[in-house]
Each structure stands twice: as C-alpha cells, then as structure tokens.
Amino acid sequence: MTILILHGPNLNLVGLKSATVGEKLTLDKINRAIRLHVRKKDINLKIIQTHKEYIAINFIQRNRNSASGLVITPTSWANYNQTIFETIKITDLQTAAVYFDKPYNLGTGEKDTIFIADKIKSFSGEPIDTIKSAIDHIANN
C-alpha cells in the first residue's frame, strides 16, 4: 500500500513555531517519525513538502493510480485553495487532512477549512501523533 504525504506551505518552518515553546520539532523529525511508524507495516510513503500549488496538484495527479490514500497538511491551502480541493475530490482518493493545534498551528485550523467532503476526514492535534493517526486511518480503510 502506498500513502501520499503532502505537507503544505510553510511546514518547513515548523521548527520556528516549536522553538517558541522550547522544543526542537522540525519537518525532518516529523518525516523520520512517520517513516519509523510505518517501517514494519506494509506501507510505502511518498512524502513531499511544497509551497507551490501546481507541484502539489501534479503530485496528487501523478500518483493517484498507485496510491491508496492521501495525508495532507494543507496549512493556508485549507482556507482558499479550491483547485487542490477539487483535485482531491476528482481523484477520489481517501484523504486525511491534518491540522496542528497550538503552538504548532500555522494559522489554519480544522474549523477554518474548505476541505470537507465524504472521503476527507480531518485530524487535529500535535504534529507527529496526528499525522500517525491520519496514516493509520488511511491504512485501515
């Protein structure tokens, strides 16, 4: 099983947010933790982080036939990005949308999202545990 992981805008700067509370959480640490989480499972992850909408859309479209699902941390895309939302709906991928609670929140939470559809389930919380829960949701569906 292949699960796509799409980290949206500014997630490469999560370390700056974590530093405000004296922690050292980076995107690299998040990615290492989720790779470790799936290591002994029959799950292959394809992970990308981008600020560019067209790269995110290409990632979803190019991998749609080989993927069992998508875990997206949309950050600001969750407020307005109809094109990515439309792409997710058209590809019909089982999707988990991840939103971080404070202090890691980058400005968009679950209550603000436009990413609402039958095959999209939202998850909120601390970054690593929330992404792990999202991966497990996709793997179990």
- Confirm if 45 and 5 have CB atoms less than 8 A apart: yes
Maximum CA extent, the chain: 42
Q: How many CA atoms lie within 13 A of 115 on its CB side?
A: 32
In whole angstroms, give the CA distance from residue 28 to residue 113: 25
CATH homologous superfamily, domain 2-75+84-108+120-132: Dehydroquinase, class II (3.40.50.9100)
Distance CA 112, CA 138 (A): 22
pTM above 0.75, yes or no: yes
Q: What does the pLDDT profile of the chain (141 residues) look like in tens digits?
A: 999 999 999 999 998 888 877 788 999 999 999 999 999 999 999 999 999 999 999 999 999 999 999 999 999 999 999 999 999 999 999 999 999 998 888 878 888 899 999 999 999 999 999 999 999 999 998
Q: Where are the domains of the chain?
A: 2-75+84-108+120-132
